[in-house]
Structure 1
Amino acid sequence: MAISRHELVCALDTLLRPQDVQDYCPNGLQVEGADRIRKVITGVTASQALIDEAVRREADAILVHHGYFWKGEDPVITGMKGKRIRTLLANNINLIAYHLPVDIHASCGNNVQLGSLMGLSNLAPAKGVKPEGIIYTGECSEPVLASEFKARLENKLGRSVLHEGDAGDRLETFAWCTGGGQGYIEKAVAMGADAFITGEVSEQTIHVARELGIHFFAAGHHATERYGIKAVGEWLSSSFDITVDFIDIDNPA
């Protein structure tokens, strides 16, 4: 079975509501390909490796969290970007991307998915932070040692995690923002969270954590953002009679 490209994009727009957020890139269809969609490949980033895998699997569309045409980037279609787009066009593959809408969605979003993966309860968007859902909060049913929580993260994500704080402290309340969300650490402090989790770390983040007394975990940009687009793909598969496969292209960042 197959659906039209228009039907696919409209369904995703209805689910993710990109019109509700101001983003750093266009959300939705970025490169036009086949009119009829039978197979969709989902992944975190529209890298050449993901495109090549989509070609190998004879996909009609790629759905990603990190697509193209970011604000401030060189607009010319040359070099690496040129090769990626030529491969899409030559193989009639649609590229569909949603950035912030996939971070903040209430059921499929990166933040709520990561909270569930961490085994936290009372998951909720942080109040007073826009767009709503860019930071989530939650808690453990019982306080957990910081060292045990770090081990939990590493086990769930399959990678090493940077932790700043006393390993013997007990943590109960958490705030997090997947990906490159380290700049929100002071908002997490203002919320009274015991710990803040994100993907990346900057030099100043460690000083903020030490001086303001909050535990900080950097668990990887890619690793913390695998689960939103995967959940959106699973929603597509359950909503339409099409094949949807998630491909995880390893990235240690």
Structure 2
Amino acid sequence: MAQLHDMIKWCDHTLKSNEFKDYAPNGLQIEGLNEVTSITCAVTASMDAIDACIKNGSKLLLVHHGYFWKGEPYAITGMRGNRIRKLIEHQISLVAYHLPLDAHPSLGNNAAIADILGLRDIIALDPNQKHSIGNIGFLPEPITATHFQQKLAQLIQPQILHLPAHKTHVQKIGFCTGAAQDFISQAAEQGCDAYLSGEVSERTFYEAKELDVHYYSCGHHATERYGVQRLGQAMCEEFNLHYHYFEQNNPV
């Protein structure tokens, strides 16, 4: 059993969450029971994830996508109201880490992608950032752009959208999980052969061709399912707790 606020303090320190300018509050968003014996993790704090947390008997739901995003209405009504009501009724704490969980060098989503793909010599996509949200890594040797798409389909998810460039082979890979498709221009500036992210925009098709950087859309959910698992496991090891991961299989 662990104390909720001890866990939040440890997470904030580990992820350096106060050093990020983010689009939603990082850390404890909804306070439940102070005593925690198990954690349920999910990418997004959906109603299904809340129900899984209840089923698991967890009093802490750890997610990458929580609530209270900038630009959202202040009123807690409708779908969000229903979610928050259920969390409060079951005394479940909601804990969310967004950009800090993308950027962490070992627990983060980008770190996981680098490990999964076997990328080497990881550097910042934007060297001017204190904590780079995106990264660059190198494949052991050049491979064809089609071969790299097949590799992504095997290791991340089967549905990979490839927007082709002119070059035939790739080795220097830029990457940033989630909805970071517009960082393709930074990847081009850094001389990357390819860039991968979660989502894709209509304009990305032309940018990939004209910047000569292969773009691979690998799914927002699929690229961001790793950070919460790594953080959840680290929390459970630190505080001797039980751990559950809820997979939604969101195709987007």
TM-score above 0.5: yes
Q: Secondary structure at the match of 1:6?
A: helix
Whichever residue aligns with residue 43 of structure 2, its letter is: V
Question: Within the alignment, does 1:62 sit opposite 2:61 as a pair?
Answer: yes
In structure 1, C-alpha distance between the alignment counterparts of 2:126 and 2:188, rounded to whole Å: 13
Whichever residue aligns with residue 4 of structure 1, its letter is: Q
Q: CA offsets per residue over residues 94-132 of structure 1, 9 Å max, x none?
A: 000010000000111111111111111112222424352
Question: Within the alignment, does 1:247 sit opposite 2:241 as a pair?
Answer: no
Aligned partner of 2:201 in structure 1 is 202
Contiguous gaps of at least 5 residues in structure 2: none
Q: Secondary structure at the match of 1:188?
A: helix
In structure 2, C-alpha distance between the alignment counterparts of 1:166 and 1:76, rounded to whole Å: 45
Aligned partner of 1:193 in structure 2 is 192
Aligned partner of 2:26 in structure 1 is 27
In structure 2, C-alpha distance between the alignment counterparts of 1:140 and 1:177, rounded to whole Å: 16
Q: CA offsets per residue over residues 32-91 of structure 1, 9 Å max, x none?
A: 101100011011000000001101111110010000000000111111001100110010
Whichever residue aligns with residue 9 of structure 1, its letter is: I
* Paired residues of 2:109 and 2:226 also in contact (CA < 8 A): yes
In structure 2, C-alpha distance between the alignment counterparts of 1:5 and 1:133, rounded to whole Å: 29
Aligned partner of 1:46 in structure 2 is 45
RMSD: 1.3
Aligned partner of 1:236 in structure 2 is 235
Decide which moves more: 104-113 or 123-132: 123-132
In structure 1, C-alpha distance between the alignment counterparts of 2:131 and 2:27, rounded to whole Å: 20
Aligned partner of 2:156 in structure 1 is 157
What is the 5 A alignment of 1:83-232? 83-130=82-129, 132-165=131-164, 169-232=168-231
> Aligned pair count?
252
* Paired residues of 2:166 and 2:209 also in contact (CA < 8 A): no
In structure 1, C-alpha distance between the alignment counterparts of 2:217 and 2:166, rounded to whole Å: 15
Aligned partner of 1:36 in structure 2 is 35
* Paired residues of 1:106 and 1:133 also in contact (CA < 8 A): no
Q: CA offsets per residue over residues 172-227 of structure 1, 9 Å max, x none?
A: 10101100001111000000000000001001111111111111100000000011
In structure 2, C-alpha distance between the alignment counterparts of 1:71 and 1:196, rounded to whole Å: 27
In structure 1, C-alpha distance between the alignment counterparts of 2:71 and 2:53, rounded to whole Å: 28
In structure 1, C-alpha distance between the alignment counterparts of 2:125 and 2:57, rounded to whole Å: 41
Identity %: 37
Decide which moves more: 166-175 or 56-65: 166-175
In structure 1, C-alpha distance between the alignment counterparts of 2:63 and 2:166, rounded to whole Å: 36
* Paired residues of 1:61 and 1:94 also in contact (CA < 8 A): yes
Query: What's the offset of the Cα at 1:167?
Result: 9.3
Change (3 A) 1:139 1:110: same
Give the 4+ runs in structure 1 shifted more than 6 A: none
* Paired residues of 2:165 and 2:213 also in contact (CA < 8 A): no
Q: Secondary structure at the match of 2:61?
A: strand
Whichever residue aligns with residue 171 of structure 1, its letter is: V
In structure 2, C-alpha distance between the alignment counterparts of 1:166 and 1:193, rounded to whole Å: 11
* Paired residues of 2:60 and 2:94 also in contact (CA < 8 A): yes
Decide which moves more: 93-102 or 111-120: 111-120
* Paired residues of 1:126 and 1:132 also in contact (CA < 8 A): no
Whichever residue aligns with residue 22 of structure 1, its letter is: K
In structure 1, C-alpha distance between the alignment counterparts of 2:126 and 2:45, rounded to whole Å: 32
Whichever residue aligns with residue 126 of structure 1, its letter is: L
* Paired residues of 1:129 and 1:135 also in contact (CA < 8 A): no
Query: What's the offset of the Cα at 1:239?
Result: 1.2
* Paired residues of 2:157 and 2:218 also in contact (CA < 8 A): no
Query: What's the offset of the Cα at 1:164?
Result: 1.2
Contiguous gaps of at least 5 residues in structure 1: none
Q: Secondary structure at the match of 2:68?
A: coil
Change (3 A) 1:168 1:189: closer
